[in-house]
Amino acid sequence: MSLPHPLLSVEGLVRHFGGLTAVDGLSFALSAGEIVGLLGPNGSGKTTALNMISGYLPPSGGAIRLGGEPIGGLRPDRIGHKGVARTFQLVRALPSLTVAENVLAALAFRRERLWGEAGRAEAEALLAQVGLGGRGDQPATSLTYIDLKRMELARALASAPRLLLLDEWLAGLNPTELRAGIGLISGLRDRGTTVLLVEHVMDAVRALCDRCIVMNAGRKIADGPTADVLAHPAVITAYLGGEHA
Amino acid sequence: MNARTLCLAALGLLALAALAAVPTFAGPYPLGLMIGILGYVVLATAWALFSGPTRYVSLATVAFFGIGAYTVAVLADLLPYPMVLLVAALIGLAVALLVGLATLRLAGVYFVVFTFGLTELIRQLVTYYEVNVTRTLGRYVFLPFGPEHIYWQLLALAAATLGLAFWVRRARIGFALRVIGDDEVVAAHLGIAITRTKLTLFAASAVIMTLAGAIQAPRWTYIEPSIVFNPTVSFLTVIMALLGGANRLFGPLLGAVPLFLLFEWLSANFPNHYSIILGLLFIAIVFLLPQGILAYGERLWPRRRTARPAAREATP
């Protein structure tokens, strides 16, 4: 019996920016249906890794495979069509469009595209799922911060991704909003969507992630069940600094 | 197709029929004015087709316009007229694809400067070729056309351009361009092939501009590079589209008509200070009406716009 391919596998991923090596030989794998946290102090290379998986940055070296198929270095629209969707560290709404059109933008250009009445109906349904039901006709710029995040999640889900990359999607929310946000993401577990989330909010990481990968200075320093990883001495040192830990 | 679309189509056809009858009663001067207006309606609408949603300010309008005019001047005696137009369109297309591939990665002011430089480059190349190879700078264009023939051709081109703009606004490709104009990074991640989308619409817009130049070439009888590659044409096109509103279907048209008449009057009455006034006007428009007259009007009378979504919800 041959082992099935992991949904995402990253092997020896490297990215240089001039003389700086932001990601330095990163390897890990995600199985289908997992929700995994990608942690690490600021500047440890988490977002750079995410950017290479989504196609925003080409890797300097290493391999990225989705369902066994190499995707490293492809254009973001190609990678999107293969089933990777993402949100951005700073919310990126499409400001001249309405809320529904923001979601329609994902539906209209995904692989099995939806357009016209069917697209509008699906956009409305996705907005209802994230708690923005009936607000599709509002301009996107009129939304509050949490609602922009909801809209961005609906847009990412509209691409019908196999793998969803969330870049600090829960950052900057107040406690009530955070609870709502955690609820939304744990709801993805039931859809079977695989999620890789870069996150600093530890309560959210504990509540959502079965497993965590921790990076420091471009390398992976820990990978395992969330509780174990967060208690790992190397992780505590990385977060708090060597001398004072 | 809903009632509003049908209504618009019917009105459009009526207007087209009325405009087609103009040469039967208009004298030579009004007809000349109408030709000038139609020429700029075509250029401004074609410009806005690409530059409206992407906000890429192109100053290459006259490059394509001039290519069209020069192709007609060179080929008019060699090929039947429809073939000449076809060849002109193909040359415009080829140049647009080449330029597009090289420049559409540039953003903001770099793109503006490049398109302006490109126009100068093409003008200099044509001048160099004419002076050193053919040894005649100017060319005569003799075609058995009266002004009414030019007028009808331009009217057909204007109608086709507005029709195309109408279709693009509702089609996926038009939506893709709006998404790109808002945020290219997001657009790419949503699955939009950015370069192909921009290139397609840039090329469509350029082919229309080329045809506008080709059709108007016989008007001058004599052409030379400084006439058909005059950068003022590019500037006027931008001002007209911005004044009317580059993101509205009829915005460029509504900008082109009054501004063309104003420029006509200015150049007749202040031939020496024409370009100073033009520059001041450009500044005033960009400062006072950055979104165009139509958007300004909607802000003055906002009721219509806010009432529409409510009405949609009431009648699902």
pLDDT digits (tens, 9 = 90+) for A71-83: 999 999 999 999 9
- Check if A228 contacts B (Cβ < 8 Å): no
Q: What is the pLDDT of residue A226?
A: 93
Calculate mean pLDDT across residues A149-157: 94
Q: What is the pLDDT of residue A1?
A: 46
Predicted-complex ipTM score: 0.92
Inter-chain residue contact A137 with B309, CB threshold 8 Å: yes
Looking at chain A, which residue has its C-alpha nearest residue B310? A137
Give A34→chain B minimum CA distance, Å: 22
Interface A-B: count of C-beta contacts within 8 A: 71
- Check if A112 contacts B (Cβ < 8 Å): no
Q: What does the pLDDT look like over A103-147, one tens digit per residue?
A: 999 999 999 999 989 999 999 999 999 999 999 999 999 999 999
Q: What is the pLDDT of residue B309?
A: 39
Query: pTM here?
Result: 0.89
Q: What is the pLDDT of residue B301?
A: 65
Give B195→chain A minimum CA distance, Å: 11
Calculate mean pLDDT across residues A174-203: 90
Q: In this prediction, what percent of chain A has a pLDDT beyond 70?
A: 97
Inter-chain residue contact B189 with A55, CB threshold 8 Å: yes
The Cα A41–Cα A48 span in angstroms is 13
Mutate to test the interface with A, among B190, B192, B195, B298 (most CBs of A within 10 A): B190
DSSP label at residue A44:
S
Q: Does B96 or A192 have the greater pLDDT score? A: B96
* Spans in chain B with pLDDT lower than 70: 1, 300-316
Tokens standing for residue B176: 């893709």
Q: Note which residues in 93-122 of chain B have CB less than 8 A from chain A.
A: none
Q: What is the pLDDT of residue B302?
A: 56
Residue A90 has pLDDT above 80, yes or no: yes
Count of CB atoms situated within 10 Å of the CB of A213:
25
Please give the helix or strand (H or E) that residue A178 lies within, else none.
helix A175-191
DSSP label at residue A61:
E
DSSP label at residue B132:
I
Q: Alpha carbon of B178 to those of A98, A159, B173, B183, B198: distances in Å? A: 12, 18, 9, 9, 10
Calculate mean pLDDT across residues A207-231: 92
Inter-chain residue contact B191 with A81, CB threshold 8 Å: yes
Cβ atoms of A209 and A197 closer than 8 Å = yes
Inter-chain residue contact A104 with B175, CB threshold 8 Å: yes
Tokens standing for residue B151: 């007028």
Q: How far is CA B5 from the centre of its chain?
A: 24
Inter-chain residue contact B193 with A97, CB threshold 8 Å: no
DSSP label at residue B56:
-
Q: What is the pLDDT of residue B305?
A: 44
The Cα B85–Cα B78 span in angstroms is 12
Residue A223 has pLDDT above 80, yes or no: yes
Half-sphere exposure of B238 (CA within 13 A, CB side): 24
- Check if B309 contacts A (Cβ < 8 Å): yes
**Cβ burial B183-199 (10 Å sphere, 16+ → b, else e):** bbebbbbbbbbbbebbb
The Cα B133–Cα B125 span in angstroms is 11
Looking at chain A, which residue has its C-alpha nearest residue B177? A105
Mutate to test the interface with A, among B173, B189, B195 (most CBs of A within 10 A): B189
What CA dihedral angle connects B244, B246, B249 and B253, to 10 degrees?
40
Q: What is the pLDDT of residue A243?
A: 52
**pLDDT band of A30, cuts 50, 70, 90:** very high
The beta-carbon neighbor of B183 closest among A56, A94, A109 is A94
